[in-house]
Amino acid sequence: MKLSGDASVYLSVLAIALFIVGWSLFGEDYSFDSKFLPILIGGVVVLLASAGLWNEVRVQKKNEVAANMSNTFVRESWRGYFVHFGWVAGFLLGIYLIGFLLAIPIFLFTYSRRLGSRFLPALVASLTVSVFIYGAFEFGLDVKLYRGLLFSWLS
Amino acid sequence: MTFHAIFDALGNFANLQMWLVMTAGTVIGLVFGLVPGISGMLALTLMLPFLFFMTPMVALPLIMTVMAIQFQGGAVSAILLNVPGTPGSSATLIDGFPMTQRGEGGRALGAAQTASALANILTAFVALAVIPLILPMIVALRSADMVFVILLGLTFIGVLASGSMIKGLLSGGVGLLISFIGFHPTTGAERFIFGYLYLYDGIPLVPLMLGLFAIPEMVALAATGGNIAESRATINGMADVWQGVRDVFRHKRLVLQSQLIGFLVGALPGVGASPATFIAYGHAKQSSKDPESFGKGNVEGVIAAESANNACESGALLTTLALGIPGSPIMALLLGVMTMHGLIPGPDMLTTNLSLSITLIWVIAISGVLGIAICLPLAPRLSRIAFIPGSLLAPIVLVLALTGAFSYHNRYEDVVVAVIFGLVGMVMRRFDYNRPALLLGFILGAIFEKFFFIALHADGPYFFVRPISLGLILAIVAVIAIGPVKGLMKRVKLARGEVKA
């Protein structure tokens, strides 16, 4: 039996909570005050996630066919979400490598083009927003934006 | 003390800076309320990096104005474009848009704005009147009681603001667990940092909020694609608008009843504006002389919905300030900003910081006036903002979110945290988990732990055997039991054949 998306999330939460409880009990030599609440709340989360998982698996067994159909739907809609999240992750990597000042206009222009903006509005928006962010953060808030690995290495 | 604080707080409005802040907040609230893809929640999340650099006396009135005004902006797009700018404006479009189609958009807009402004003003006075009544109860709360007040808040927001009780409670529980990461202030233990110094101070609040709320919304907007608003509508002129203003004063009874519903529902932790507006709308329909015209463009529907959603904010603010439990999901962000500025949510806000709390209530009242003054003449022009294409909006918001995350402490790791919580938020959004409950658990985790150990060391392991604590425990059990008991009763009735399956 394939696990539904819901069941997978319950399982992940269950694993994390079990790790927290286990780590608090055996991983570190914490005092009682430090580990009591992580164990207590972690225990409650384990119970809740188990109840949710049990409920989900029970329902899934009842409606195996329907669940398979919904799994297909979930896979399809998830793909779109992950593609766009991939752009965010790419932007994160871009910031790390070339810094905010270059990554922002490049990301704005390419991503808005990817989403269907025409060339000129995408170019104008990316330049305007980049200038606004540079002005607002570097001068307004006195935040020195991260320059990136490449420029740190070059300088 | 309260009487003195009321006038003390009024003194804060004697300087120009406060008025500039509120005017800016009004414009921001209107604009963000208007754009359907950007709810008040997202607007405030994007403002976080800037709020961090302001003093509490500037930051809190600014976000309070945005919160109070967002529904007035939301009503404009609901009425003119048939798209609710905020979830709390959903009931407004049921009658608002049919009025626009009939050529009465101006009248609907006038009624909505006047009802909103009146709700802000009148319920702010109700909140001020209620403070002296609840103050003795708040002062009587001890650490042991506060432990259960926090748990009650998490239960409320987890159960009532979610489709699934288990998912709601899990969200709050996971938020508490995340708050345990980092240096323990009392014992000095380094919990769950695995030798990584960045985690020593715990997960940073601003990147967490930006990731949890801004990234998932924009990824969803990009994934679904297209523009948010498609149909354009215009209003005929100011005469129509004045007709709407007069409509509100013709339905005084409905205005007051809807405001009361909004205020009471808003005061319930975690419920928010949407249920309040639909309850008020239902009440308006039931009590109307012409219930058949509801849904076809009855101005009473607009008045009821707009009175309720704005009244909700005063009730929600009162609960948030008095108990540290957000009255609506968006108030969880207010708690976040308070924490960011070193203010402790809960009874302290009605004792040590009473003047600031009352200032925020005054802000709601005054922003009602500012909102109507700015919105009525500008609304038709402002409604064009709703046509910003999603293909430009999503990249811009994402850039602002990640840059904002970095500016919190000038650390690249904060940007990584924002993206990680963006993924968490995406999963939560997709599977209908409760993101405000996670945020609340995270914000209140440290205070919860503090109160828990004070109670444990002061009163021993049976610290919960106090009348107030026991009452709160009963309330928690009751909130959790509502759903299952209702389900059981329905099954029993089904078995008896009293209701149709």
A15 shares a domain with A44:
yes
- Residue B191 φ then ψ, to 5°: -100, 130
Tell me which of A30, A33, A40 to substitute to probe the interface with B (most B C-beta atoms closer than 10 Å): A33
Inter-chain touch A38–B177, beta carbons under 8 Å: yes
List the single residue in B176, B391, B399 with the smallest CB-CB distance to A129: B399
How close B79 gets to chain A, by Cα (Å)? 28
Does residue A102 sit within a domain? yes
How far apart are the C-alpha atoms of B206 and B45, rounded to whole Å? 8
Q: What token pair was written down for B263?
A: 């205020």
- pLDDT digits (tens), chain B, 501 positions: 567 878 888 888 888 888 999 999 888 888 877 766 566 677 788 888 888 788 888 899 998 898 888 888 888 878 877 766 676 777 888 888 888 878 888 888 889 999 999 999 999 999 888 888 887 777 778 888 888 888 888 887 777 666 688 898 999 999 999 999 998 877 888 888 888 889 988 999 889 988 988 898 888 888 876 555 555 555 566 777 888 889 999 999 999 999 999 888 888 776 667 778 888 888 888 888 888 888 888 999 999 999 998 888 888 888 888 888 777 777 888 888 888 888 877 788 888 888 888 999 999 999 888 888 888 777 666 666 666 777 888 899 899 889 988 988 889 999 999 999 999 999 998 888 888 889 888 988 888 888 888 888 888 888 888 888 899 899 889 888 877 887 788 888 888 776 554
ipTM score for this prediction: 0.90
Q: Which domain holds residue A105?
A: 80-155
Which phi and psi angles does B183 have, rounded to 5°?
-65, 130
pLDDT at residue B37 in the model: 57
How far, in Å, CA of B161 to CA of B164, rounded? 9
Q: How close is the nearest chain A Cα to the Cα of B452, in Å?
A: 9
The answer to whether position A144 is within a domain reads: yes
Residue A129 lies in a domain: yes
Distance from the Cα of B230 to chain A's closest Cα (Å) equals 16
How would residue A43 be classed by pLDDT, with cut points 50, 70 and 90? very high
Considering the domain boundaries, does residue A47 fall inside one?
yes
For residue B379, the model assigns a pLDDT of 66
The C-alpha of B407 sits at a distance from chain A's nearest C-alpha, in angstroms, of 6
Indicate if A114 and A55 belong to the same structural domain: no
A87 and A56 in one domain? no
Instruction: Determine whether the interchain pair B396/A117 forms a contact, defined as Cβ–Cβ distance below 8 Å.
Output: no
Give dist(CA B46, CA A133) in Å, integer.
13
What secondary structure, in 3-state letters, does B450-466 show? HHHHHHHHHHCCCCCCC
Last residue of a domain, one of A33, A62, A91: A62
* pLDDT value at residue A119: 93
Shared domain check, A87 and A58:
no
Distance CA B488, CA B477 (A): 16
Pair (A58, A85) in one structural domain:
no
- Cβ of residue A120 closer than 8 Å to a chain B Cβ: no
Instruction: Identify whether residues A88 and A43 lie together within a single domain.
Output: no
String of DSSP letters for B259-311: HHHHHHHHHSTT--HHHHHHHHHHHHHHH-S-GGGTTS--HHHHHHHHHHHHH
User: In this structure, is residue A70 part of a structural domain?
Assistant: no
Compute the mean pLDDT over every residue in chain A, rounded to the nearest whole number: 85
pLDDT value of residue B340: 84
- Predicted local distance difference test score (pLDDT) of residue B177: 95
A148 occurs within a structural domain? yes
Contacts of B488 (CB under 8 A, 6+ apart): none
Say yes or no: A131 and A105 in one domain. Answer: yes
Which of A23-37, A127-141, B235-249, B322-336: highest mean pLDDT?
A127-141
User: In this structure, is residue A69 part of a structural domain?
Assistant: no
Residue A72 included in any domain? no
CB contact under 8 A, B406 and A100: yes
Based on the domain organization, do A58 and A84 belong to the same domain?
no
Residue B402 to residue A91, Cβ atoms within 8 A: yes
DSSP 8-state symbol, A4: P
Q: Pairing relation of β-strands B182-183 and B190-191?
A: antiparallel
Query: pLDDT tens digit string along A77-118?
Result: 677 888 999 999 999 999 999 999 999 999 999 999 999 889
Count of the separate structural domains present in chain A: 2
pLDDT score for A57: 84
Q: Which of A32, A62, A92 is the last residue of a domain?
A: A62
Q: What is the pTM of this model?
A: 0.80
| Same-domain pairing of A86 and A141 | yes
